[in-house]
Amino acid sequence: MKNKYLSLLMILALTGCQKKKAVKLVCISQSVSHPALDQTVRGIIEGLTAQGFEEGKNINIQIQCAQGNASLASQIAAQFFTQNPDVMVSIGTLSSQSFMTYSAKGTPVVYASVTDPVNAGLIAKKGNTLIGVANFVPLLPQIELIQKIQPSLKKLGILYNPAEANSVVIVEKLKKLCQKQNLTLVDWTVSKTSDIAQACSQLAGQVDAIMVNNDNTVLSAIPSVCKGCFPKPVYVSDTDVVNQGALAAQGPDQKALGVQAGNLVSGLLKGKDLSGLAVQYPSKIQLYLNQKRAAELNISFPPELIYQAQEVITP
């Protein structure tokens, strides 16, 4: 009788362990909070939900934000690793780079909204899983868009943080492209958001328009950028911030990009071997125009652009 009782206890204990193990742990680190990256996070959760993972039922999702601070990103990564998560997810280059150590230790990592994963050093070592979705879209069409809106454009400014590896690569590519398009690129650096107001006032006086391309430091302060650069138009690569004062954007659907990343996370949670998977790129590129801002700047959009736009913000 005693042996039967002990056997029953062991079965109950094992059943309890299996139930606990059935709840997957996914830890998400977001480099900084701004509309585009916030949408990426929403997309990841939406993607997981569509694949049958429900918060509080069979998955536990923890989210922390590094607030653009490299030291904080490293602390978050270390804290997540101690919890033995099933998958660690990084949003943006800063958080993704902070996860590299733990990817090498065997924890599966999925990154999203990283412009240039290879240049950022996001390369998996043999036997480890480091996969993700980049948010890079071709630069030439973005320059051509600006030229269609401002045919007399001669000088284009770009504001960026040189500490963001992807931004440095973007600027180097833009320099070559602008030269081919008979444009002068004026690059201006900022190291933190508190530098932006002064940088904008100085840069705006030297150019015909300002471009912000996937730089998380600058994107997190877009309202200040648009205000500081006025009356010069600001063009961005993230459609989710156009309603904060930018004139136009040609960029990825960040929520859809998040869903792509969420599908990768789901695959790992279901036991699929995704190691060695090639970098994925945005499945949807969108054009957003801000008619309200255009009116304030006395700029008229060509009719064909209005027809092509996925969204036009009206006054």
pLDDT digits (tens, 9 = 90+) for 29-45: 999 888 889 999 999 99
Residues 258 and 227 in one domain: no
Element (H, E) at 131: strand 130-134
Residues 25 and 56 in one domain: yes
Q: What pLDDT does 17 receive?
A: 44
Residues 42 and 90 in one domain: yes
Is there a domain that residue 65 lies in? yes
pLDDT tens digits for range 191-228: 988 999 999 999 999 999 999 998 889 988 999 999 99
Is there a domain that residue 74 lies in? yes
Residues 225 and 258 in one domain: no
Q: What pLDDT does 98 receive?
A: 92
- Reported as a pLDDT band with limits 50, 70 and 90, residue 18 is very low
Q: Please compute the mean of the pLDDT values over residues 105-124 and round it to a whole number.
A: 86
Q: Across the beta sheet with 87-91, what order do the strands follow?
A: 59-65, 24-30, 87-91, 109-114, 130-134
Residues 147 and 125 in one domain: no
Is there a domain that residue 279 lies in? no
Residues 89 and 235 in one domain: no
Q: Into how many domains does the chain fold?
A: 2
pLDDT tens digits for range 229-262: 999 999 999 898 999 999 999 999 999 999 999 9
Judge contact between 248 and 213, C-beta under 8 A.
no
Coil vs helix vs strand at 223: helix
pTM greater than 0.85: no
Q: What burial letters (b/e) apply to 101-115, b meaning 16+ CB within 10 Å?
A: ebbeeebbbbbbbbb
Residues 262 and 246 in one domain: no
Is there a domain that residue 85 lies in? yes
**% of the chain at pLDDT higher than 70:** 93
Is there a domain that residue 299 lies in? yes
Residues 171 and 50 in one domain: no
The yes-or-no verdict on residue 148 having pLDDT over 90 is: yes
Residue 133 has phi, psi (to 5 degrees) of -125, 120
Is there a domain that residue 276 lies in? no
Q: What pLDDT does 306 receive?
A: 96
Is there a domain that residue 213 lies in? yes
Residues 246 and 258 in one domain: no
- Reported as a pLDDT band with limits 50, 70 and 90, residue 16 is very low
Residues 85 and 178 in one domain: no
Is there a domain that residue 278 lies in? no
Measured CA distances, 72 to 33, 68, 76, 77, 272 (Å) = 14, 8, 6, 9, 31
Residues 208 and 295 in one domain: yes
204 Cβ neighbours under 8 A, 6+ residues apart: 157, 210, 228, 229, 230, 232
Torsion of the alpha carbons at 300, 302, 308 and 311, rounded to the nearest 10: 0
Range of the domain at 19: 2-136+254-269
Burial of 271 (0-12, 13-18, 19+ CB in 10 A): exposed
Q: What pLDDT does 21 receive?
A: 54
Residues 161 and 307 in one domain: yes
Domain with residue 13: its CATH number is: 3.40.50.2300
